[in-house]
């Protein structure tokens, strides 16, 4: 059987390869199709996805594949690749250079490998279960900020924020008043990678999908951070919401969220 190191090398290679395709097309005029009122997909999403899934199917025929833009491939394999071929599509389509590729490998229900690649900065974040996380080969560690008032947080807003009051505006207001600052980049996978690198101290978001968080979740935990649901319970790929932090400010984040006027039922 192929050893995990082989999977890791494959993961790094295909993630960068897809990222370079996106970088090469970044300045092109993009074909945009809307999946919802503000949820869109471009030809670049599909090119990246086709490249990644093609490489996986060729190298590991029979593996399951879960990806954002196509129906799930289910062969009953112990291995499942979880792919976001372009996280930050809205940014990309507007020429705003904040986006990434996110790929994770799940083995028997456990995320074992994850990679997030920022093509514009050529930053490759990789994590392996039990082996730590790295950025371009250098080991990562979350920040040690213990005072939320000095913490830089990241978040995002769901695509249905105009229709559903469960839209994160309440938590954004509460945490913006408590932290040093809050950033909204438009790429959850990149936010989690930056948390793993110590650039952010905390992150939360509502209504994310498995491909948004699979790789970033592993990056954060392997860099020493803590990931839970929005109430402090165990996080899973089907959890409706996520809260991640460096472990020093998580308790305060959870306290503020718990005391904020709720707009949803967990």
CA distance 151 to 233: 22
CA distance 8 to 5: 5
66 bridge partner residues: 82
Q: Measuring CA to CA, how many Å separate 195 from each of 61, 187, 260?
A: 34, 12, 23
Q: How many residues does the chain have?
A: 266
CA distance 177 to 154: 14
Q: What is the 3-class SS of 114-179, one letter each residue?
A: EEEEECCCCEEEEEECCCEEEECCEECCCCCCCCHHHCEEEECCCCCCCCCCCCCHHHHHHHHCCC
- Count of C-beta atoms within a 10 Å radius of residue 262: 13
- Supply φ then ψ for residue 12, to 5 degrees: -60, -45
CA distance 223 to 166: 30
> All domains of the chain, ordered by start, with CATH?
4-139 (3.30.540.10), 148-258 (3.40.190.80)
pTM of this structure: 0.94
The model's pLDDT over 214-235, given as tens digits with 9 standing for 90+, comes to: 999 999 999 999 999 999 999 9
Q: Where are the alpha helices (DSSP H) in the chain?
A: 4-25, 43-59, 89-93, 169-176, 188-196, 210-222, 250-258
Show pLDDT as tens, one digit a residue, over the chain (266 residues). 457 899 999 999 999 999 999 999 998 877 777 655 545 578 888 999 999 999 999 999 999 999 988 889 999 999 999 999 999 999 999 999 999 999 999 999 999 999 999 999 999 999 999 999 999 999 999 999 999 999 999 999 987 778 788 899 999 999 999 999 999 999 999 999 999 999 999 999 999 999 999 999 999 999 999 999 999 999 999 998 999 999 999 999 999 999 997 654 44
In this structure, are residues 153 and 179 in contact, taking their beta carbons and an 8 Å threshold? yes
CA distance 108 to 42: 32
Q: What is the pLDDT of residue 83?
A: 98
DSSP β-ladder status, 64-67 and 79-87: parallel
CA distance 67 to 180: 35
Q: Give exposure, 138-155, as e/b (b: 16+ Cβ within 10 Å).
A: eebebbebeebeebbbbb
Which residues, other chains included, contact 188 with Cβ-Cβ below 8 Å and sequence gap of 6+? 87, 156, 203, 205, 208, 212, 213, 216
- Which of 4, 2, 8 minimizes the C-alpha distance to 215? 8
CA distance 241 to 72: 22
């Amino acid at each position: 059987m192929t050893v995990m190191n082989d999977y890791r090398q494959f993961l790094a290679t295909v993630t960068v390869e897809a990222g370079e395709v996106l970088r090469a097309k970044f300045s092109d005029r993009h074909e945009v199709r809307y999946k919802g009122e503000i949820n869109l997909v471009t030809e670049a999403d599909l090119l990246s996805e086709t490249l990644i899934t093609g490489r996986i199917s060729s190298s590991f025929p029979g593996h399951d594949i879960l990806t954002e833009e196509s129906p799930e491939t289910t062969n009953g394999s112990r291995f499942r690749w979880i792919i976001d071929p372009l996280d930050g599509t809205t940014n990309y389509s507007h020429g705003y250079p904040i986006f990434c590729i996110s790929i994770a490998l799940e083995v028997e229900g456990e995320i074992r490998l994850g990679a997030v690649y920022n093509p514009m900065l050529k930053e490759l974040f990789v994590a392996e279960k039990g082996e730590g996380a790295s950025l371009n080969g250098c080991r990562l560690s979350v920040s040690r900020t213990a005072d939320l008032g000095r913490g830089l947080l990241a978040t995002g807003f769901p695509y249905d924020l105009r229709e559903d009051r469960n839209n994160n505006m309440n938590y954004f207001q509460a945490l913006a008043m408590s932290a040093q600052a809050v950033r909204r980049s438009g790429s959850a996978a990149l936010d989690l990678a930056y948390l793993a690198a110590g650039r952010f101290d905390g992150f939360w978001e509502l209504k994310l999908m498995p491909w948004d968080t699979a790789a970033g979740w592993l990056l954060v935990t392997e860099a020493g951070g803590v990931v839970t649901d929005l109430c402090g319970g165990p996080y899973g790929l089907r959890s409706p919401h996520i809260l991640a932090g460096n472990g020093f400010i998580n308790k305060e984040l959870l306290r503020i969220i718990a005391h904020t006027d709720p707009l949803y039922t967990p």
